[in-house]
Structure 1
Amino acid sequence: GLSLEPILLALCEWGQHHADELNEMDRLADCIIRPRQARQPAIA
């Protein structure tokens, strides 16, 4: 869940740095990380 968000962000940053070091920024895909929406309880 949301506790993985910092790990995913760190992996995206590492990937960007790694691609930059290898001069492969043109091959890099966008990192899009967005928290899932919390479900609202149904009102009966």
Structure 2
Amino acid sequence: MQNINNILVGVDACPVKAEIVQVGAEFHVGILFVASYAHRLRK
């Protein structure tokens, strides 16, 4: 079985999205941002 590492992030009110992306890239880990369809994401 293959070990797959991912970070799952609930981003509706997450203030550290940029930092999560940076750490994921540094450690070669996939990131999945999950948000409510009723919220609008900003960079």
TM range (shorter): 0.3 to 0.5
Which has the higher relative contact order, 1 or 2, with Cα contacts under 8 A spaced 6 or more apart?
2
Structure with the bigger percentage of helix: 1
Larger radius of gyration: 1
- TM normalised by structure 2 equals 0.40
Structure with the bigger percentage of strand: 2
